[in-house]
Structure 1
Amino acid sequence: MDDAEDDVNQAIAGELQLMDPRVRASQELATQLLDPEFVEVGGSGRRWTYKDMLAELPHLLGSSADGLRYEPSEISGVLLAPGLVHLTFETLLGERRTRHSSIWRKRDHAAGWRMYYHQATRVPPEVD
């Protein structure tokens, strides 16, 4: 495995961790995976900051151990530059299908890979 592939795999691992209800319910764990400059444009069009996301994540769908869980598919990534990975994938959360794009960055080895940007777009049922 080359370095680029390893970097992409590490970003994918972080993405999957952020879908885990235990991580979503824990600000401490989520802090380790979100970049301090994190921004998201959610499926609803809402803009989320790092502070907003950490406050709300435990209360969002997919954050309860006994609730709906994210089912990811077609996850792939590309190394854009050293320390910068772009991922794309789809999820199902109950009946809600969403397409995602995220950028992960690694500023130093101690902090590891963290999500810098995330975009989610809901997919209407009639769209392939």
Structure 2
Amino acid sequence: MAGELRLLEPAVRSSGTEARKLFDPEFTEVGSSGRRWTYEEMLAELPGFDDAQPDGPRIEASAMRGALLAPGLVHLTYETVFEGRRARRSSLWRQDENGAWRMYYHQGTPVPEG
């Protein structure tokens, strides 16, 4: 959960060095836009996102829950609000050979208004 929350911080999102520490080299994402992202694409684009700007809007996270699926594999679910848009989010985190937790997969699903 700590890694997931760090990835929502503008200072981490704007820093390729910090974000690289938290993404698994085999990372993929299906964003709330429906776009598929690879590790390289995410690291290249993340610093330019609105939510990566120090004075920009913040991502608000709530109701985060984690479930241990297997040794070294955790599934997180939570909801976010960003600029009035809600999304349900799901991430898989796996432990690397050095014991560090890295995000392996992430998916965001928009919540319809109303």
Q: TM-score band (shorter)?
A: over 0.9
Q: Is 1:124 equivalent to 2:112 in the alignment?
A: yes
Using the alignment, how far apart are the partners of 1:74 and 1:117 within structure 2? 19
How much has 1:94 moved relative to structure 2?
1.7
Match for residue 32 of structure 1?
Answer: 21
Aligned residues: 114
Q: Deviations over 1:32-54 (max 9, x none)?
A: 00000000000111000000000
Greater C-alpha radius of gyration = 1
The 4+ residue runs of structure 1 with deviation greater than 6 A are none
1:55-106 superposed Cα distances (whole Å, 9 cap, x missing partner): 0001113101101001100000100000000000000112011100000000
Decide which of 77, 82, 86 is 2:66's aligned counterpart. Answer: 77
SS of the residue 2:11 aligns to: helix
> Which structure shows the bigger proportion of residues in strand conformation?
2
**Mapped pair 1:46 → 2:4:** no
Distance 2:82 2:33 in 1: 15
User: Alignment partner for residue 3 of structure 2, among 10, 14, 17?
Assistant: 14
Amino acid at match of 1:78: A
1:9 is matched with none
Gaps of 5+ in 1: 1-11
Q: How large is the RMSD of aligned CA atoms in angstroms?
A: 0.8
Give aligned-pair identity as a percent.
58
- Rounded Cα–Cα distance in structure 2 between residues aligned with 1:61 and 1:76: 26
